[in-house]
Chains A and B, each alone.
With several copies, the nearest count.
Chain A
Amino acid sequence: MTVRAPARGPIQVDGEVFSNKRVGAYAHLVLVADGIAERTRPGHFVALSVGGPTSARLLRRAFSIYRVRPAGIYGGTVEIVFAATGPGTQWLAERRAHDPVNVVGPLGRPFALPKEPVGCALVGGGYGSAPLFGLAARLRERGCGVHMVLGAATESRLFGALEAKRAAQSVTVTTEDGSVGIRGRVTDPLPSLLARHSIEVVYSCGPMGMLAAVTRVATQHGAWSQTAVEESMACGIGVCMTCVLPVVGDDGVTKMVRACVEGPVFAGDKVRWEAVGTVPAGTFGAPAAGGH
Chain B
Amino acid sequence: MSPALLPDDVDLTTVLADAHLENPVMTASGCAASGQELQQFFDVAELGAVVTKSILRDPRSGRATPRMVETPSGMLNSIGLQGPGINAFLARDLPWLLQHDARPIVSIAGSSLGEYAELARRVGNTPGVAAIEVNISCPNVEDRGLVFACDPVQAGRVLSVVRRDTARGVPVFAKLSPDVTSIVDIARSVVEAGADGLVLINTLLGLSVDLATMRPTLAGVTGGLSGPAVRPVAVRAVWQVANALPGIPLIGVGGIRTGADALEFLVAGASAVQVGTAIFNDPGAPIRVLRELRTELASRGFARVSSAVGFANRSAADVAAAAG
- Which A residues lie at the B interface, using CB under 8 A? 1, 3, 5-6, 9-12, 49, 56-60, 102, 104, 231-232, 234-245, 255-256, 261, 276-279, 283-287, 292
**Cβ of B58 under 8 Å from chain A:** yes
Those of B252-285 within 8 Å (CB) of chain A: 277-284
Main DSSP-derived SS at the A contact region: loop
Q: Smallest distance from the beta carbon of A212 to chain B beta carbons, Å?
A: 15
Q: Smallest distance from the beta carbon of B88 to chain A beta carbons, Å?
A: 10
**Cβ of B181 under 8 Å from chain A:** no
**Cβ of B314 under 8 Å from chain A:** no
Query: Would you mind naming 26 contact pairs between A and B with Cβ atoms under 8 Å apart?
Result: A3-B283, A12-B283, A57-B70, A58-B74, A58-B228, A58-B280, A59-B70, A59-B280, A234-B280, A235-B31, A235-B283, A236-B280, A239-B31, A239-B38, A239-B280, A242-B65, A242-B66, A242-B67, A242-B79, A244-B67, A277-B219, A279-B62, A285-B62, A285-B82, A285-B85, A287-B60
Cβ contacts B40-84/A at 8 Å (1 or 0 each): 111000000000010000111111111110101111010110111
Residues on the B chain within 8 Å of A237, using CB: 37-38, 40-41, 283
Q: Are B61 and A239 within 8 A (Cβ)? A: no
Q: Are A292 and B60 within 8 A (Cβ)? A: yes
* Given A56-B228, A58-B227, A279-B62: A12 and B75 interface contact (C-beta under 8 Å): no
**Cβ of B111 under 8 Å from chain A:** yes
Residues on the B chain within 8 Å of A278, using CB: 64, 219
Those of B81-111 within 8 Å (CB) of chain A: 82-85, 111
Q: Are B31 and A240 within 8 A (Cβ)? A: yes
Q: Give Cα A242 to B135, complex, Å.
A: 19
- Which B residues lie at the A interface, using CB under 8 A? 30-33, 37-38, 40-42, 53, 58-68, 70, 72-75, 77, 79-80, 82-85, 111, 139, 141, 219, 227-228, 277-284, 287-288
Q: Are B59 and A3 within 8 A (Cβ)? A: no
Q: Give Cα A109 to B253, complex, Å.
A: 32
Q: Give Cα A179 to B58, complex, Å.
A: 54
Q: Smallest distance from the beta carbon of A176 to chain B beta carbons, Å?
A: 20
Q: Which residue of the partner chain, among A3, A56, A231, contacts B65 with CB atoms under 8 Å?
A: A231
Residues on the A chain within 8 Å of B67, using CB: 232, 241-242, 244
Besides the known contacts A278-B64, A285-B62, 14 further A-B residue pairs in the complex with CB atoms under 8 A apart: A3-B283, A58-B70, A58-B281, A236-B280, A237-B37, A240-B30, A240-B280, A241-B30, A244-B65, A279-B62, A284-B59, A284-B61, A292-B60, A292-B141
Q: Are A240 and B283 within 8 A (Cβ)? A: no
Q: Are B280 and A9 within 8 A (Cβ)? A: no
Q: Are A234 and B82 within 8 A (Cβ)? A: no
Residues on the B chain within 8 Å of A255, using CB: 61
Select from chain B the residue with minimum beta-carbon distance to A278.
B64
Q: Are B40 and A6 within 8 A (Cβ)? A: yes
* Given A279-B61, A279-B62, A284-B61: A234 and B75 interface contact (C-beta under 8 Å): yes
Q: Give Cα A261 to B38, complex, Å.
A: 12
Q: Are A279 and B38 within 8 A (Cβ)? A: no
Q: Are A240 and B79 within 8 A (Cβ)? A: yes
Residues on the A chain within 8 Å of B33, using CB: 238-239, 241
Q: Give Cα A60 to B280, complex, Å.
A: 7
* Given A10-B40, A232-B66: A287 and B61 interface contact (C-beta under 8 Å): yes
Residues on the B chain within 8 Å of A57, using CB: 70
Q: Which residue of the partner chain, among A242, A279, A283, A287, contacts B68 with CB atoms under 8 Å?
A: A242
Q: Give Cα A281 to B283, complex, Å.
A: 34
Q: Give Cα A162 to B18, complex, Å.
A: 65
Q: Are A3 and B281 within 8 A (Cβ)? A: no
Select from chain B the residue with minimum beta-carbon distance to A291.
B141
Q: Are A59 and B283 within 8 A (Cβ)? A: no
Q: Smallest distance from the beta carbon of A235 to chain B beta carbons, Å?
A: 4
Select from chain A the residue with minimum beta-carbon distance to B70.
A59
Residues on the A chain within 8 Å of B41, using CB: 3, 5, 10-12, 237
Q: Are B37 and A3 within 8 A (Cβ)? A: no
Select from chain B the residue with minimum beta-carbon distance to A6.
B40
Q: Are B283 and A242 within 8 A (Cβ)? A: no
**In the A-B complex, the 4 residue pairs with the closest CB atoms:** A285-B59, A9-B40, A285-B61, A242-B68
Residues on the B chain within 8 Å of A283, using CB: 61
Select from chain B the residue with minimum beta-carbon distance to A49.
B281
Select from chain B the residue with minimum beta-carbon distance to A10.
B40
Residues on the A chain within 8 Å of B139, using CB: 292
Select from chain B the residue with minimum beta-carbon distance to A238.
B37
Q: Are B65 and A58 within 8 A (Cβ)? A: no
Of B111, B139, B279, B288, most buried by chain A (CB within 10 Å of CB) is B279
